[in-house]
Amino acid sequence: MNQLNYFLCLMYFMLLGSYSLYAQTEPKGWCDEADLTMYRGLEEIKTSSDWFKVFMVGKDVYAIAEPYNYEEVISYLIIGTKKALLFDSGNGLGLISSVVKELTKLPVTVLNSHSHYDHIGGNHEFDSILALETEYTLYWAKNGWSHDLVKNEVAPDAFCMEKLPNLDTASYHIKPFSISTFINDGHIIDLGQRTLEVISVPGHTPDAIALLDRAHGYLWTGDTFYEATIWLFFDGTDLKAYKKSIKKLADLSASLKKLFPAHNTPVSEPIRLLELVDAFDQVMKGTKSVKETNKNGLPVYDEEAKVIYEFEHFSFLIRKDHLKN
Protein backbone atom coordinates (compact mmCIF):
# COMPACT_ATOMS: atom_id res chain seq x y z
CA MET A 1 0.00 0.00 0.00
CA ASN A 2 1.56 3.32 -1.05
CA GLN A 3 1.63 6.49 1.05
CA LEU A 4 -1.33 8.04 -0.79
CA ASN A 5 -3.53 5.02 -0.14
CA TYR A 6 -2.43 4.95 3.49
CA PHE A 7 -3.35 8.64 3.83
CA LEU A 8 -6.76 8.08 2.25
CA CYS A 9 -7.43 5.18 4.58
CA LEU A 10 -6.41 7.28 7.56
CA MET A 11 -8.75 10.09 6.54
CA TYR A 12 -11.74 7.77 6.14
CA PHE A 13 -11.22 6.22 9.55
CA MET A 14 -10.88 9.61 11.20
CA LEU A 15 -14.23 10.56 9.66
CA LEU A 16 -16.09 7.51 10.91
CA GLY A 17 -16.89 8.80 14.37
CA SER A 18 -18.30 6.50 16.99
CA TYR A 19 -21.85 5.93 15.75
CA SER A 20 -22.67 2.27 15.22
CA LEU A 21 -23.37 1.74 11.55
CA TYR A 22 -22.91 -2.00 12.00
CA ALA A 23 -25.68 -2.20 14.55
CA GLN A 24 -28.07 0.15 12.71
CA THR A 25 -29.41 1.51 15.97
CA GLU A 26 -29.57 4.82 17.74
CA PRO A 27 -26.55 5.53 20.00
CA LYS A 28 -26.87 3.45 23.17
CA GLY A 29 -25.16 2.62 26.43
CA TRP A 30 -22.75 -0.21 25.72
CA CYS A 31 -22.95 -1.55 29.27
CA ASP A 32 -26.69 -2.17 29.01
CA GLU A 33 -27.49 -5.89 29.17
CA ALA A 34 -30.49 -5.29 26.88
CA ASP A 35 -27.98 -4.99 24.03
CA LEU A 36 -27.45 -8.76 24.22
CA THR A 37 -30.85 -9.64 22.78
CA MET A 38 -29.27 -10.70 19.48
CA TYR A 39 -27.90 -13.78 21.27
CA ARG A 40 -31.24 -15.05 22.56
CA GLY A 41 -31.77 -18.74 21.94
CA LEU A 42 -28.04 -19.49 21.79
CA GLU A 43 -26.27 -21.67 24.35
CA GLU A 44 -23.91 -19.43 26.32
CA ILE A 45 -20.61 -20.89 27.48
CA LYS A 46 -19.37 -19.23 30.65
CA THR A 47 -15.74 -18.10 30.80
CA SER A 48 -13.78 -15.90 33.17
CA SER A 49 -13.90 -12.95 30.74
CA ASP A 50 -16.07 -9.90 31.37
CA TRP A 51 -15.42 -8.58 27.86
CA PHE A 52 -16.15 -11.58 25.63
CA LYS A 53 -19.41 -13.50 25.41
CA VAL A 54 -19.09 -17.08 24.14
CA PHE A 55 -21.85 -19.13 22.52
CA MET A 56 -22.02 -22.63 21.08
CA VAL A 57 -23.44 -22.05 17.59
CA GLY A 58 -22.72 -25.33 15.78
CA LYS A 59 -20.99 -28.68 16.07
CA ASP A 60 -17.82 -27.81 18.01
CA VAL A 61 -18.09 -24.18 16.89
CA TYR A 62 -17.84 -21.34 19.41
CA ALA A 63 -18.81 -17.75 18.61
CA ILE A 64 -16.60 -15.39 20.64
CA ALA A 65 -18.52 -12.13 20.58
CA GLU A 66 -17.57 -8.62 21.70
CA PRO A 67 -20.97 -7.01 22.30
CA TYR A 68 -19.69 -4.14 24.42
CA ASN A 69 -18.07 -2.26 21.53
CA TYR A 70 -20.00 -0.66 18.70
CA GLU A 71 -18.39 -2.96 16.10
CA GLU A 72 -20.09 -5.95 17.79
CA VAL A 73 -17.47 -8.15 16.16
CA ILE A 74 -17.56 -11.95 16.37
CA SER A 75 -14.61 -14.36 16.11
CA TYR A 76 -15.11 -18.12 15.81
CA LEU A 77 -13.23 -21.03 17.36
CA ILE A 78 -13.63 -24.21 15.29
CA ILE A 79 -12.59 -27.47 16.92
CA GLY A 80 -11.27 -30.66 15.30
CA THR A 81 -9.87 -33.76 16.98
CA LYS A 82 -6.23 -32.69 16.59
CA LYS A 83 -6.25 -28.92 16.10
CA ALA A 84 -8.43 -25.85 16.41
CA LEU A 85 -8.81 -22.80 14.16
CA LEU A 86 -9.59 -19.29 15.35
CA PHE A 87 -11.30 -17.46 12.50
CA ASP A 88 -10.54 -13.80 13.30
CA SER A 89 -9.14 -12.53 16.59
CA GLY A 90 -11.25 -9.49 17.39
CA ASN A 91 -10.37 -5.87 17.90
CA GLY A 92 -7.63 -6.34 20.47
CA LEU A 93 -9.49 -4.70 23.34
CA GLY A 94 -9.64 -7.89 25.38
CA LEU A 95 -7.18 -10.79 25.57
CA ILE A 96 -8.84 -13.32 23.29
CA SER A 97 -6.12 -15.95 23.73
CA SER A 98 -7.15 -16.35 27.38
CA VAL A 99 -10.69 -17.20 26.36
CA VAL A 100 -9.48 -19.59 23.67
CA LYS A 101 -7.34 -21.43 26.23
CA GLU A 102 -10.41 -21.93 28.41
CA LEU A 103 -12.31 -23.44 25.49
CA THR A 104 -9.70 -25.85 24.12
CA LYS A 105 -6.36 -27.43 24.98
CA LEU A 106 -5.64 -28.19 21.32
CA PRO A 107 -3.02 -26.25 19.33
CA VAL A 108 -4.68 -23.21 17.76
CA THR A 109 -4.04 -21.61 14.37
CA VAL A 110 -5.41 -18.18 13.44
CA LEU A 111 -6.91 -17.28 10.07
CA ASN A 112 -8.45 -13.87 9.39
CA SER A 113 -11.47 -13.17 7.23
CA HIS A 114 -9.61 -10.01 6.16
CA SER A 115 -7.07 -7.58 7.56
CA HIS A 116 -9.23 -4.81 8.99
CA TYR A 117 -8.32 -3.76 12.51
CA ASP A 118 -11.37 -5.29 14.22
CA HIS A 119 -10.50 -8.78 12.95
CA ILE A 120 -6.73 -8.96 13.55
CA GLY A 121 -6.49 -7.30 16.97
CA GLY A 122 -5.51 -10.47 18.82
CA ASN A 123 -3.25 -11.98 16.17
CA HIS A 124 -0.09 -11.03 18.02
CA GLU A 125 -1.17 -13.32 20.87
CA PHE A 126 -0.70 -16.42 18.68
CA ASP A 127 2.29 -18.12 17.03
CA SER A 128 0.55 -19.91 14.16
CA ILE A 129 -1.15 -17.63 11.63
CA LEU A 130 -2.32 -18.44 8.10
CA ALA A 131 -2.86 -15.69 5.52
CA LEU A 132 -3.22 -14.94 1.84
CA GLU A 133 -0.06 -13.42 0.36
CA THR A 134 -1.53 -10.13 -0.82
CA GLU A 135 0.01 -6.67 -0.64
CA TYR A 136 -2.91 -5.58 1.50
CA THR A 137 -2.41 -8.40 4.03
CA LEU A 138 1.34 -7.94 4.20
CA TYR A 139 1.04 -4.22 4.84
CA TRP A 140 -1.26 -4.51 7.85
CA ALA A 141 0.59 -7.53 9.26
CA LYS A 142 3.85 -5.59 9.18
CA ASN A 143 2.53 -2.24 10.40
CA GLY A 144 -0.55 -2.95 12.47
CA TRP A 145 -3.05 -0.13 12.89
CA SER A 146 -1.86 3.01 14.69
CA HIS A 147 -3.78 4.67 17.51
CA ASP A 148 -4.85 7.48 15.18
CA LEU A 149 -6.55 4.95 12.92
CA VAL A 150 -8.43 3.08 15.64
CA LYS A 151 -8.95 5.61 18.43
CA ASN A 152 -12.68 5.75 17.71
CA GLU A 153 -12.91 2.18 19.00
CA VAL A 154 -12.17 3.46 22.51
CA ALA A 155 -14.08 6.74 22.44
CA PRO A 156 -16.29 7.11 25.54
CA ASP A 157 -19.50 6.31 23.66
CA ALA A 158 -17.98 3.49 21.58
CA PHE A 159 -17.56 0.78 24.22
CA CYS A 160 -18.31 -0.24 27.81
CA MET A 161 -15.29 0.82 29.84
CA GLU A 162 -16.68 -0.96 32.91
CA LYS A 163 -15.81 -4.27 31.20
CA LEU A 164 -12.20 -3.18 30.60
CA PRO A 165 -11.33 -0.90 33.53
CA ASN A 166 -7.57 -1.24 33.02
CA LEU A 167 -7.52 -0.49 29.29
CA ASP A 168 -5.16 2.33 28.32
CA THR A 169 -7.35 4.11 25.77
CA ALA A 170 -4.64 6.68 25.01
CA SER A 171 -2.27 4.07 23.58
CA TYR A 172 -4.71 1.51 22.16
CA HIS A 173 -3.58 0.27 18.74
CA ILE A 174 -3.47 -2.93 16.71
CA LYS A 175 -0.10 -4.64 16.99
CA PRO A 176 1.81 -6.09 14.02
CA PHE A 177 2.00 -9.86 13.75
CA SER A 178 4.02 -12.55 11.97
CA ILE A 179 2.45 -14.78 9.33
CA SER A 180 3.67 -18.35 9.70
CA THR A 181 2.20 -19.87 6.51
CA PHE A 182 0.84 -18.40 3.29
CA ILE A 183 -2.19 -20.05 1.70
CA ASN A 184 -4.23 -19.67 -1.48
CA ASP A 185 -7.84 -19.83 -2.61
CA GLY A 186 -9.05 -23.41 -2.18
CA HIS A 187 -6.57 -24.26 0.57
CA ILE A 188 -7.79 -27.12 2.78
CA ILE A 189 -7.24 -26.92 6.53
CA ASP A 190 -7.27 -30.31 8.27
CA LEU A 191 -8.18 -30.05 11.96
CA GLY A 192 -8.55 -33.78 12.47
CA GLN A 193 -11.84 -35.36 11.35
CA ARG A 194 -12.83 -31.88 10.17
CA THR A 195 -11.68 -30.07 7.04
CA LEU A 196 -12.23 -26.43 6.19
CA GLU A 197 -11.92 -24.88 2.74
CA VAL A 198 -10.66 -21.34 2.17
CA ILE A 199 -12.64 -19.34 -0.41
CA SER A 200 -11.23 -16.08 -1.74
CA VAL A 201 -14.00 -13.45 -1.86
CA PRO A 202 -12.36 -10.09 -2.64
CA GLY A 203 -14.53 -7.00 -2.66
CA HIS A 204 -14.92 -5.73 0.89
CA THR A 205 -11.12 -5.88 0.96
CA PRO A 206 -8.61 -7.35 -1.52
CA ASP A 207 -7.79 -10.18 0.91
CA ALA A 208 -11.32 -11.09 2.06
CA ILE A 209 -12.02 -14.80 2.45
CA ALA A 210 -14.88 -17.05 3.51
CA LEU A 211 -14.48 -20.42 5.21
CA LEU A 212 -16.47 -23.51 4.29
CA ASP A 213 -17.16 -26.68 6.27
CA ARG A 214 -18.85 -28.81 3.60
CA ALA A 215 -19.51 -31.78 5.88
CA HIS A 216 -21.57 -29.74 8.33
CA GLY A 217 -22.98 -27.20 5.87
CA TYR A 218 -21.35 -24.23 7.63
CA LEU A 219 -20.07 -21.07 5.95
CA TRP A 220 -18.18 -18.29 7.74
CA THR A 221 -18.73 -15.10 5.72
CA GLY A 222 -16.51 -12.52 7.43
CA ASP A 223 -17.57 -9.00 6.46
CA THR A 224 -18.74 -10.08 3.02
CA PHE A 225 -22.13 -10.64 4.64
CA TYR A 226 -23.75 -9.91 7.99
CA GLU A 227 -27.24 -8.81 9.00
CA ALA A 228 -26.62 -5.09 9.44
CA THR A 229 -25.02 -2.30 7.40
CA ILE A 230 -22.31 -3.82 5.21
CA TRP A 231 -19.44 -1.37 4.80
CA LEU A 232 -18.31 -0.96 1.19
CA PHE A 233 -16.49 2.35 1.31
CA PHE A 234 -12.89 1.62 2.25
CA ASP A 235 -9.85 2.29 0.16
CA GLY A 236 -9.35 -1.17 -1.34
CA THR A 237 -13.07 -1.95 -1.70
CA ASP A 238 -13.96 -3.19 -5.20
CA LEU A 239 -17.67 -3.39 -6.00
CA LYS A 240 -17.22 -5.43 -9.18
CA ALA A 241 -15.16 -7.99 -7.29
CA TYR A 242 -17.71 -7.96 -4.47
CA LYS A 243 -20.51 -8.78 -6.91
CA LYS A 244 -18.62 -11.82 -8.20
CA SER A 245 -17.74 -12.95 -4.69
CA ILE A 246 -21.26 -12.87 -3.29
CA LYS A 247 -22.47 -14.79 -6.35
CA LYS A 248 -19.82 -17.42 -5.60
CA LEU A 249 -21.12 -17.76 -2.05
CA ALA A 250 -24.78 -17.71 -3.09
CA ASP A 251 -24.10 -20.66 -5.39
CA LEU A 252 -23.28 -22.65 -2.26
CA SER A 253 -26.48 -21.76 -0.42
CA ALA A 254 -28.45 -24.90 -1.32
CA SER A 255 -25.85 -27.07 0.43
CA LEU A 256 -25.59 -24.90 3.55
CA LYS A 257 -27.29 -25.13 6.92
CA LYS A 258 -25.85 -22.11 8.72
CA LEU A 259 -24.01 -18.88 8.02
CA PHE A 260 -21.64 -17.46 10.63
CA PRO A 261 -21.12 -13.71 9.98
CA ALA A 262 -18.42 -11.58 11.61
CA HIS A 263 -20.67 -8.93 13.18
CA ASN A 264 -23.86 -8.65 15.20
CA THR A 265 -25.87 -11.86 14.83
CA PRO A 266 -23.75 -15.04 15.07
CA VAL A 267 -26.05 -17.28 13.02
CA SER A 268 -27.91 -16.44 9.80
CA GLU A 269 -29.96 -18.40 7.30
CA PRO A 270 -28.29 -19.41 3.99
CA ILE A 271 -31.16 -17.85 2.02
CA ARG A 272 -29.73 -14.48 2.99
CA LEU A 273 -26.97 -15.02 0.40
CA LEU A 274 -29.53 -15.20 -2.39
CA GLU A 275 -31.17 -12.06 -1.03
CA LEU A 276 -27.75 -10.41 -0.89
CA VAL A 277 -27.08 -11.05 -4.58
CA ASP A 278 -30.51 -9.78 -5.60
CA ALA A 279 -30.18 -6.68 -3.45
CA PHE A 280 -26.71 -5.80 -4.72
CA ASP A 281 -27.86 -6.27 -8.31
CA GLN A 282 -30.52 -3.64 -7.65
CA VAL A 283 -27.89 -1.26 -6.35
CA MET A 284 -25.53 -1.79 -9.26
CA LYS A 285 -28.31 -1.49 -11.85
CA GLY A 286 -29.55 1.73 -10.28
CA THR A 287 -33.04 0.39 -9.58
CA LYS A 288 -32.74 0.78 -5.79
CA SER A 289 -33.25 4.19 -4.22
CA VAL A 290 -30.86 5.64 -1.67
CA LYS A 291 -32.11 5.77 1.92
CA GLU A 292 -32.11 9.46 2.76
CA THR A 293 -33.05 9.75 6.44
CA ASN A 294 -33.85 7.64 9.48
CA LYS A 295 -37.05 7.72 11.54
CA ASN A 296 -35.88 10.92 13.25
CA GLY A 297 -35.27 12.67 9.96
CA LEU A 298 -31.49 12.54 10.30
CA PRO A 299 -29.16 11.49 7.48
CA VAL A 300 -28.43 7.77 7.64
CA TYR A 301 -24.94 8.11 6.24
CA ASP A 302 -22.16 9.94 8.01
CA GLU A 303 -20.90 12.20 5.24
CA GLU A 304 -21.74 13.29 1.71
CA ALA A 305 -19.22 10.90 0.19
CA LYS A 306 -21.28 7.84 1.21
CA VAL A 307 -24.81 6.63 0.48
CA ILE A 308 -26.86 3.86 2.05
CA TYR A 309 -29.17 1.32 0.41
CA GLU A 310 -31.50 -0.39 2.85
CA PHE A 311 -33.10 -3.83 2.54
CA GLU A 312 -35.08 -5.97 4.97
CA HIS A 313 -32.24 -7.86 6.65
CA PHE A 314 -29.18 -5.77 5.78
CA SER A 315 -28.05 -2.63 3.99
CA PHE A 316 -25.04 -1.36 2.06
CA LEU A 317 -23.03 1.74 2.93
CA ILE A 318 -21.12 2.63 -0.23
CA ARG A 319 -18.72 5.37 -1.20
CA LYS A 320 -20.12 7.29 -4.14
CA ASP A 321 -16.92 7.18 -6.17
CA HIS A 322 -16.90 3.37 -5.93
CA LEU A 323 -20.25 3.33 -7.72
CA LYS A 324 -18.73 5.19 -10.67
CA ASN A 325 -15.96 2.64 -11.27
Residue type, 121: G
Q: How many domains does the chain have?
A: 1
Q: Is 50 part of any domain? A: yes
Query: 2 or 214, which is more confident?
Result: 214
- Whether 281 has a pLDDT exceeding 60, the answer reads yes
pLDDT of residue 39: 92
Domain hosting 25: range is 3-286
Using only C-alpha atoms, what is the Rg of the chain? 18
How large is the average pLDDT for residues 170-190?
Answer: 98
pLDDT of residue 30: 86
- Assign residue 56 the CATH number of its domain: 3.60.15.10
Q: Is 78 part of any domain? A: yes
pLDDT of residue 5: 43
Residue type, 162: E
pLDDT of residue 43: 97
Q: Is 294 part of any domain? A: no
Q: Is 324 part of any domain? A: no
Are the C-beta atoms of residues 263 and 228 closer than 8 Å to each other? yes
pLDDT of residue 295: 59
pLDDT of residue 297: 57
Q: Is 34 part of any domain? A: yes
Q: Is the pTM of this model over 0.95?
A: no
Among 65, 52, 47, residue whose Cα is nearest residue 103: 47
User: Above pLDDT 90, what percent of the chain?
Assistant: 80
* 3-state DSSP of the chain: CCHHHHHHHHHHHHHCCCCCCCCCCCCCCCCCHHHHHHHCCCEEECCCCCCCEEEEEECCEEEEECCCECCCEEEEEEECCCCEEEECCCCCCCCHHHHHHHHCCCCEEEECCCCCHHHHCCHHHCCCEEEECCHHHHHHHHHCECHHHHHHHHCCCCECHHHCCCCCCCCCCECCCCCCEEECCCCEEECCCCEEEEEECCCCCCCCEEEEECCCCEEEEECCCCCCEEEECCCCCCHHHHHHHHHHHHCCHHHCCEEEECECCCCECCHHHHHHHHHHHHHHHCCCCCCCECCCCCECCCCCCEEEEECCCCEEEEEHHHHHC
How large is the average pLDDT for residues 253-258?
Answer: 98
What is the per-residue pLDDT across 98-157, written as a single tens digit (0 to 9) for each? 999 999 999 999 999 999 999 999 999 999 999 999 999 999 999 999 999 999 999 999
